[in-house]
Structure 1
């Protein structure tokens, strides 16, 4: 799990290119690798994941926030599988922080506090993937219903404030301080956190049928619009409704993964399979002979200018590799 782009100059201090950091890109990558291990039974991958966590724990973990929470999802699975008391204790400590200490917005939403930025009063769609999946997972692992109920509340609060009722897509963020959606960006990767995250959430969280029906109806409405906006290549623009913005691979991979898995699980009608397969074809075209995924946008904050999103640089990133890996795992399941 080495750096994907050692020659690329980091644009942020937290370090999101190298796999030797504890942040959200690495967390997404870890979960994809764990999913690949569970699908293939390759114990070498599990051992590599354990070695990664042991090294980071020995170095000392960073401050807790929404994004640094992301690696904890994979650690929760390893804690259960290995019965390692250190892993379990860390999972308990970090989920307790979410439940008791993490900053909140109005209506109890998890404020998207990240390293060096409090983002006061802000909801981001990224939060559902980075933190809420872990909370749900810990509810199952510890048999704590209040954790599951909290995960449900977060999905509902985020959908309430981030859904674009005209399209069924999701805005990147909302602020309770100014009561607006900033630039009104229908940002692809932000949308894809829901598409990919929901199908995994429903795998890990036994939510009531009324809740799952609501969440899945939101997914279908989103996917219906995605089908209309899909480029002939199979990919989607980084601003979904802005054809002058570039095509972006990480979001396209996550969309394809979520759509194909939802069809396989019976969450979406069979007619959407074609959309996912077209995206799969487009993503495969972005993988070079060394297995590096290209056309991936760098880390993207929440801004009030659409040109900011258009001008984000592209380079290989851990989450580009990992969302593509999740898609490959799903494609493998479809073929067997």
Structure 2
């Protein structure tokens, strides 16, 4: 699909999502949807998605970040806040992001080697935490010219990969149980997409510096990890352009949000020319994924076929998760379509 075909789909999705964000009950994925609206606003040259994002976030500015309770609720707000700062140049958004990133640094439980633990006292490393921490850390670090913070963002991705990588396939397990030295039973598609998006985004934040100086060895390790992962992902894509929710099990259902995440990660990885990518096959998989997720945006602007909140379990459990709509799914789709239009310019 070309950008002219993708644009009306993105417009429909952004219009629906902006209204939904302001009207519905709170959900931990709302900050991802907010962030996506900021990105769509810039690509569509439309103020409405940005105003919806600001309208959702401003009550949080007045009371400040919560920084307690369920990790996913407050952690997701950092990246939305920093992107709102970049869109508006308002210092209060950057200050909010700094406070949340500061909590990553000072108040979260860590493993001995530094991986953020989202559900203490259980010493577990979750694949999606890579997305909720590292991109915001890297972006805030670049804005503040704090190379130490940028390097810690790279460290967070690399330590997650050390715990979660399946040595045979290059894919990531959902959860590592640190004390037991084991991991969850299945290779969850959306979880793999969260890691790939986070890695590509941090590499993009570094830009021309990624191959220079102090960052070079760690960026090289991260590029090797995400290239191997995405090469494996491409091989497992269904002919529909989607992926199975347990990515290596064709007897699990095809799921939309993983395809949106992989489209976003592949688009960025191709744009940043990440070393080790099989570019021809990755490009073809990317085009199939974009077409597939466009087909999952209905006439109302809902992104459908999204598996709901998914803790780890056995194969039967993953395959039993209901599908529908979810703010994190719509957010991933919006970001992927925004990236597609940006790449075509």
How high is the TM-score relative to the length of structure 2?
0.85
Q: Which has the higher helix share?
A: 2
- Per the TM alignment, residue 86 of structure 1 is displaced from its structure 2 partner at its CA by 3.5
- Per the TM alignment, residue 61 of structure 1 is displaced from its structure 2 partner at its CA by 4.4
Contact 1:297 1:312 in 2 (8 A): yes
Aligned to 2:37: 33
Q: In the aligned structure 2, how far is the partner of 1:291 from the partner of 1:158? A: 35
1:279 is aligned, of 289, 293, 316, to 289
Aligned to 2:14: none
Q: In the aligned structure 2, how far is the partner of 1:71 from the partner of 1:21? A: 13
What secondary structure, in the 3-state scheme, does the structure 2 residue paired with 1:324 have? helix
Q: In the aligned structure 2, how far is the partner of 1:164 from the partner of 1:266? A: 24
After superposition, give the CA deviation of every residue in 1:213-246 in whole Å (9 maximum; x if it has no partner).
2212212211222222111111100001111111
- Per the TM alignment, residue 328 of structure 1 is displaced from its structure 2 partner at its CA by 1.2
User: Quick one: higher RCO (CA 8 Å, sep 6+), 1 or 2?
Assistant: 2
Asked if 1:54 is matched to 2:58, the reply is yes
State which drifts further: 133-142 or 152-161: 133-142
The number of residue pairs the alignment matches comes to 317
Asked if 1:142 is matched to 2:152, the reply is no
State which drifts further: 273-282 or 47-56: 47-56
What secondary structure, in the 3-state scheme, does the structure 1 residue paired with 2:116 have? coil
Aligned to 2:307: 297
Unaligned 5+ segments in structure 1 are: 5-16
Alignment of 1:87-98 (within 5 A): 87-98=93-104
State which drifts further: 103-112 or 259-268: 259-268
* Structure 1 residues 85 and 219: CA distance shift in structure 2, 3 A: closer
* Structure 1 residues 278 and 178: CA distance shift in structure 2, 3 A: same
Contact 1:105 1:120 in 2 (8 A): no
- Per the TM alignment, residue 277 of structure 1 is displaced from its structure 2 partner at its CA by 0.8
Contact 1:227 1:275 in 2 (8 A): yes
Contact 2:259 2:293 in 1 (8 A): yes
- Per the TM alignment, residue 47 of structure 1 is displaced from its structure 2 partner at its CA by 2.4
State which drifts further: 33-42 or 104-113: 33-42
* Structure 1 residues 199 and 161: CA distance shift in structure 2, 3 A: same
Aligned to 2:3: none
Contact 1:106 1:121 in 2 (8 A): no
Aligned to 2:221: 214
Aligned to 1:162: 164
Aligned to 2:8: none
Unaligned 5+ segments in structure 2 are: 1-17
Q: In the aligned structure 2, how far is the partner of 1:125 from the partner of 1:314? A: 21
- Per the TM alignment, residue 39 of structure 1 is displaced from its structure 2 partner at its CA by 2.4
Contact 2:164 2:174 in 1 (8 A): yes
Q: In the aligned structure 2, how far is the partner of 1:96 from the partner of 1:174? A: 25
Aligned to 1:202: 203
Q: In the aligned structure 2, how far is the partner of 1:144 from the partner of 1:249? A: 37
- Per the TM alignment, residue 77 of structure 1 is displaced from its structure 2 partner at its CA by 3.0
* Structure 1 residues 91 and 331: CA distance shift in structure 2, 3 A: closer
Q: In the aligned structure 1, how far is the partner of 2:25 from the partner of 2:46? A: 22
1:320 is aligned, of 326, 329, 332, to 329
RMSD (CA atoms): 2.2
